[in-house]
Structure 1
Amino acid sequence: MTLTTTAVRDIPPIRHDEAMDLAAAEYERFSALLHGLAPGDWETPTVCDRWDVRAVAAHVLGAAEACASIGENVHQMRLGRRVQRQLGLGHIVHGANEVQVRERAALDPAGLIDRWDRAVPRALRGRRRFPPFLRPVRIGFEAPLGRRPLGYLIDIVYTRDVWMHRVDICRATGRQPVLTAAHDGRIIADMVADWAATHRQAFTVHLTGPAGGSYTRGSGGATLDIDATDWAWTVSGRARGSGLLANPLPL
């Protein structure tokens, strides 16, 4: 069988309407995962530094509540800046993440799930209706992403974050994540295009599994064969990468 290889320049960007469809589907999959966790799963350590499964869920909940409310978003950013300085964290996003986890630390699993179920429709509504005049405003992301529009955060980053933490929880608890070409493969392809644009090296990557695909940039570059989720796991910094995989894509 001949595999089709796609040039990264031909991967279509995810526009707002498609982004919101992907967000809705990803929230639904994360919801199903939370509802399916066993009581003993919640205290299982994850690859995320100092976070067990409950803390990861608290972070994702906090991000959803920030999407749902501008006031909550401002609160997390303002307090996150202070926490970032206190703990010597590299970027304000890590301070905001810490705030999200701390402020939801008293919630038990049932409370987390209940808050999540109530937050998701409001988060989607907030993201769908984010003011168009604010979308082009550029903000700073972690290196090597640099300064990008707020629309990139609203449409792309929030969904990638939920997706990656769904994988984190699945791997921590010994579950296989639900993966399809139409949903997860589209998210991965967009990540590949973003990753390629940050390091600009020639390559051919063959990503295997349900979310996989073959992608190329330029000619004469290295060739890589790896499972699609393992690729995301590595470039996000969850595993040490070498060669092409040493080029990061913060998730």
Structure 2
Amino acid sequence: MTVTQAPQIEHRQAAALTAAENERFVGLVRSLGPGDWSEPTDCPAWDVRAMTGHVLGMMEFTCSVREFVHVIRAGEKAAGERPAIDGMTEVQVAERAHLTREQLLARLAEAAPRTSRIRRMLPAPLRWIPMPQENEGVTEHWRLGYLFDVILTRDTWMHRVDISRATGREMVLTADHDGLLVADAVAEWARRHGRPYVLTLHGPAGGTFRDGDGGEEIALDAVEFCRILSGRGTGSGLLGQPVPF
């Protein structure tokens, strides 16, 4: 598979991936036992419960204009000199900290299909709304469609990775779902570094990707590749090129 020739995920396909990923995340959280919720995750400030509150918050963030505006405004205030996203996630977690596990699960079950529908129906003009975002100290010019179609699904997927690792659960991985999300991350990684490479990713979500001649040759697990790109692991050479998750 040559990444430079691979089509980007289109809006309809993104909507299907979102729905499937939300369903898998809810299924994972439902499987957790009482002792799992306090387990630490790869995000040092969050245990499993706090991370679940964040994912719920991001789902509800897209479900109403009022919540969307509230989180952005409150997040910017909470962030101070830090990136706004740090304040936004803190607000989301804090405002859901009072929920019982049963309430958290009930709201997840309600929000997961609702956010999938809303993101699927987002009109094209709205998907083009600019969303400036600080990434690795640089302000990038995202579009709302990129946030809704790509980043929010990657975020949920990566937190499913986090919770699976934290609780010792085997992560459900399939080529037709996780493989597409990983391939899309590979394509963005390749665009960002712009250099030749040969990449072999192992596991159900993996594949072989290449671009150009004489580039760096990399082989590792597909999930670990994404963890490194997200900043959860460390990598040298081209693996030092981060990708937003």
Q: TM-score, normalised by structure 1?
A: 0.94
Residue 139 in 1 paired to residue 138 in 2? Answer: no
Aligned to 1:3: none
Q: Is the 8 A contact 2:22 2:113 kept in 1?
A: no
Give deviations 1:75-95, integer Å, cap 9, x for gaps: 00000000110xx42x21111
Q: Work out the CA distance in 1 between the residues paired with 2:169 and 2:32.
A: 10
Aligned to 2:41: 46
Deviation at 1:150, TM superposition (A): 1.0
The residue matched to 1:207 in structure 2 has which SS?
strand
Deviation at 1:185, TM superposition (A): 0.2
Pairs within 5 Å for 1:49-128: 49-85=44-80, 88-89=81-82, 91-128=83-120
Letter in 2 for 1:132: A
Q: Work out the CA distance in 2 between the residues paired with 1:124 and 1:248.
A: 27
Residue 209 in 1 paired to residue 203 in 2? Answer: yes
Q: Is the 8 A contact 2:151 2:244 kept in 1?
A: no
Q: Work out the CA distance in 2 between the residues paired with 1:145 and 1:154.
A: 18
The residue matched to 2:62 in structure 1 has which SS?
helix
Q: Work out the CA distance in 1 between the residues paired with 2:103 and 2:37.
A: 12
The residue matched to 1:107 in structure 2 has which SS?
coil
Q: TM-score, normalised by structure 2?
A: 0.96
Give deviations 1:84-131, integer Å, cap 9, x for gaps: 10xx42x21111111100100111211110111111122112211223
**Greater Cα offset, 143-152 or 235-244:** 143-152
Q: Work out the CA distance in 1 between the residues paired with 2:157 and 2:123.
A: 24
Aligned to 1:12: 7
Q: Work out the CA distance in 1 between the residues paired with 2:139 and 2:8.
A: 16
Q: Work out the CA distance in 2 between the residues paired with 1:66 and 1:215.
A: 35
Letter in 2 for 1:121: P
Aligned to 2:240: 246
CA root-mean-square deviation? 1.2
Q: Mind listing any 5+ residue stretches in structure 2 that lack a counterpart?
A: none
Residue 33 in 1 paired to residue 25 in 2? Answer: no
Q: Work out the CA distance in 1 between the residues paired with 2:132 and 2:11.
A: 20
Deviation at 1:145, TM superposition (A): 8.0
Aligned to 2:222: 228
Q: Work out the CA distance in 2 between the residues paired with 1:172 and 1:95.
A: 24
Letter in 2 for 1:246: G
Runs of 4+ in 1 over 2 A off after TM superposition: none
Q: Work out the CA distance in 2 between the residues paired with 1:220 and 1:134.
A: 42
Give deviations 1:208-237, integer Å, cap 9, x for gaps: 000000111221110000000000011100
Q: Work out the CA distance in 2 between the residues paired with 1:230 and 1:207.
A: 9
- Counterpart of 1:219 (choices 190, 213, 217) is 213
Aligned to 2:166: 172
Q: Mind listing any 5+ residue stretches in structure 1 that lack a counterpart?
A: 1-5
Letter in 1 for 2:102: A
The residue matched to 1:181 in structure 2 has which SS?
coil
**Greater Cα offset, 235-244 or 205-214:** 235-244
**Greater Cα offset, 186-195 or 123-132:** 123-132
Give deviations 1:161-206, integer Å, cap 9, x for gaps: 1000000000011111100000000000000001111111211110
Q: How many residues are matched?
A: 243
